[in-house]
Structure 1
């Protein structure tokens, strides 16, 4: 599951209902007290058969047109093991209990079997469970996702502090670093107006501009629709307006001095860099919302990984064609 999907699920309203209904039960199962209050759940080994591996290989070929490499098969097996483990734990925790999506799915399946007019949905759900119709691929996927969400949560986690946010900002500078920016003015010389005297006019304008205050010098410019002053422009923004060569030359200028003529697709420009800001991190307040979301997703991902590690300790795993992996979770790292 990608970070994007995880972040979207964490913000979903149904999550709050799920957590309220399962938090206490999940806590007693996933983080049992020192003195167990109920008999331990028996967990059978998770077995990946040779037939399952063959189906994985064939599905891979159908989807991608080539056979899977050993590394890709390891990843597919690991994913299968993880999903089976999550599904089993979701059933242990009864995450399907009173779940509206599960109930709707079961009612639909019962009604697909034949007309049942007048029978309440609750009765149809009970009958569907009795018939084993809850062993369903759609329900399975739903429960796997709900189990992932549950493992990623920590209702007792303290609120994020500015220190937490600043630490994330410092560790991920490249994601938030603001690019270097220039504030500059220019005198534009339009070839359609200057004609063959364009270069001579540029040299004359440059000589005059260097003797005038910048505010007076820009009056020497030919009309330019995009304006004569550009504030806090990054190199990509300048490139978008004037082209790559122009942006490279302007960014190489020293502030405070009118440049020699610089060409662009429009004509010639005399450029005065007024201010140059080096790449910098934004203030915390300016990116607080993004940081809160990013830190929340990072910690949820960490909790999910820790929760999965705890669950792997509960299962013996066997994969066809390999030694009997008596150490729970060992198959997730093994190579085919």
Structure 2
């Protein structure tokens, strides 16, 4: 007969008998709030590093590395000044200057000297604009694309009218300039442009007596806008006037007037490509800036609240005439 199984009250509470399992050390750690905090922090740090990979790249060696291309560039800059090829000693000096420049610029940034500096801001803005230009220049439009764009923007390339004319001048500083011009017109009305009767009728003019294929803008620069407007209202082939300018009175003979016209695509193809690239560059800059600005909140006080009436332009101190970047 087998002996009956014996157990004590302590045995009844034992996990081996009751079927309960003792909690492991790992499970106890998982229940700790401190572990939850550390895990959440590590997770956030990992996500940030993935989204911002450059943030963890800290230069702990303060290393300054010059490549062979850098040395060649130093030599090219040296030669561009009209000098002979640099010697070893001169190259060593150029390297020392480049290293000094790099060290000082890094230390200046570390000290925050680049903050709130208008010249640096302008230079950085300029480089951003150059970047947009470089990206836009990578686009190479096809002839079909340019032709289609030109058809939509042809008026931008319209050629202005042009006038070919000669004139007789009557100076204001001589008495009766208007009366003399009227009398001269009566004598030569209906005559050819080079009739012999023109000799001695008018006063010497300080510039030209004959102008070929001049646009309204060119005529306006020479004689003033009112004269240019009146000139292009005249008909070719006869003496007309008088027309007043800032100099005096003029009788005018129009040889020919070429009206405003829109050129063909082939005539202005190169100009069309340049204008197309300019537009693409402007669109790229505007789109990029709009996307960048969306990340910023701009806070400006009401303009009406700022009293500008008492302000004066600042005086530039003598000896600090540092030019702004172009």
TM-score by length of 2: 0.44
Return the structure number with greater helix share.
1
Q: TM-score, normalised by structure 1?
A: 0.43
Higher RCO (C-alpha under 8 Å, 6+ residues apart): 1
